[in-house]
Amino acid sequence: ARQQAQRARLRLPPLPTTTIGSFPQTPAIRAARAAHRRGTLGEAEYQAQMRAEIERAVRTQEALGLDVLVHGEAERNDMVEYFGEQLEGFAFTANGWVQSYGSRCVKPPVLYGDVARPRAMTVDWTVYAQSLTARPMKGMLTGPVTILQWSFVRDDQPRSRTCEQIAWAIRDEVADLEAAGIAIVQIDEPAIREGLPLRRALWKPYLDWATRAFRISACGVQDTTQIHTHMCYSEFNDILPEIAAMDADVITIETSRSDMELLRGFGSFKYPNEIGPGVYDIHSPRVPGVEEMARLLRKAAEVVPARNLWVNPDCGLKTRGWPETEAALRHMVQAAQALRPALAAA
């Protein structure tokens, strides 16, 4: 019923194209955020610069022919830090950098108290982006488990309780996005698998409260509001029942580097909802060709019903430059468009 209601509202073509959320964080974007934090760039000027970056991202996506758009996240320094700065119960260090991978570093927040959301965190940016286009605009949120996993967490209560507090705060944001007319909300959970305890006997209790936290964050939305989640860095074949229990309408996953082998488990399991397997690796500046991506899509359609497939990159595009981003997305859209006639005939 939810799938039918969403398809009636969104009216997307077969193999709908989208991205994971972030677009290139240029030196100008980083400089503006740093100046705003120092107080040398006023709020009005900062808002104007960020809105200009959002408009650039929207216009670029429209020109490329993407079906579901994102605002690009120019205003966000990090997918956890950005939300922690706006939620009660978090504190931040000035120089507490931790290596993420390679030369990429993050500053994990200190989650010391009860979590609450005093005000909307993303609604204004998302609504502005939606006002620029008639195409669906995704609201972009970080999920409760990932915020928990990528923070230094209080140890005076169970992690499950802290995660539930975060989930209710994210749920408030989802409700506000829906009330503002946003038809698709993505709640990213790239860290859900890395939270698994070392002892396999403890997996079930963890997965029970982790999947429950995700369901809380997305609960109460109308059938016509589509919930997405994104996961990367992981293999999921051994926890597919729990992934299904999250009950996201669409899951996007990192699969291109495995040549779609990671997707086979979803096919064998008969995953009930829609899936966007990544068709190109965003960790490299290399731009794959149209046929290369089309081959991966054909391979995906062998294990997942084509009517349930989305087309997207592996992950967000924050670390890439605009030239390779535009070239790769143009090829991705062309690959999807080339396969649509055969899909419709089938």
pLDDT, tens digit, 9 for 90 and up, residues 325-346: 999 999 999 999 999 998 767 6
129: closest CA among 58, 178, 185?
58
Residue 274 to residues 26, 39, 301, Cα–Cα distance (Å): 32, 44, 12
Domain ranges in the chain?
Answer: 2-345
Helix (H) or strand (E) holding 174: helix 159-179
Closest by CA to 210, choosing from 169, 166, 250, 163, is 163
Question: How many alpha carbons fall within 13 Å on the CB side of residue 189?
Answer: 31
Q: Are 69 and 135 in contact, with CB atoms under 8 Å apart?
A: yes
Instruction: Determine how many CB atoms are found less than 10 A away from the CB of residue 264.
Output: 17
Residues 15, 18, 19: CA angle, nearest 5 degrees: 140
Residue 92, φ and ψ in degrees, nearest 5: -130, 145
Q: What strand order describes the sheet that includes 226-231? A: 138-142, 184-188, 226-231, 250-253, 274-277
Query: What pLDDT is recorded for position 268?
Result: 81
Which long-range CB contacts under 8 A does 32-40 form with residues at least 24 apart? 33/75, 33/77
Q: What are the tokens at 312?
A: 């997207």
How many helical (H) and strand (E) elements, i.e. helices and strands, does the chain have? 12, 10
CATH 3.10.200.10 fits 2-345, yes or no: no
Among 205, 206, 286, 275, which residue's Cα sits nearest to residue 244?
275
Q: What residues are labeled active site?
A: 283
Closest CA to 72 of 125, 147, 131: 125
Structure confidence at residue 232 (pLDDT): 81
Q: What is the pLDDT of residue 58?
A: 98
Q: Which one, of 166, 68, 67, 64, lies nearest residue 121 by Cα?
A: 166
> If you ran DSSP here, which 8-state letter would residue 201 be given?
G
pTM of the prediction? 0.95
Helix pair 203-218, 159-179: axis angle to 10 deg? 20
- The DSSP code for 12 is P
Predicted pLDDT of residue 102: 83
Picking from 75, 82, 165, the residue whose alpha carbon sits closest to that of residue 117 is 165
Nearest to 279 by CA among 72, 19, 25, 69: 19
Mapping DSSP onto H, E and C, the string for 258-314 reads: HCCHHHHHHHHHCCCCEEEEECCCCCCCCCCCHHHHHHHHHHHHCCCCHHHECEECC
Q: Could you tell me the end-to-end alpha-carbon distance of the chain, in angstroms, rounded to an integer?
A: 23
pLDDT < 50 positions in the chain:
none
- Phi/psi at 31 (nearest 5 deg)? -65, -40
Task: Dig out the tokens for 36 from the structure.
Answer: 């705003």
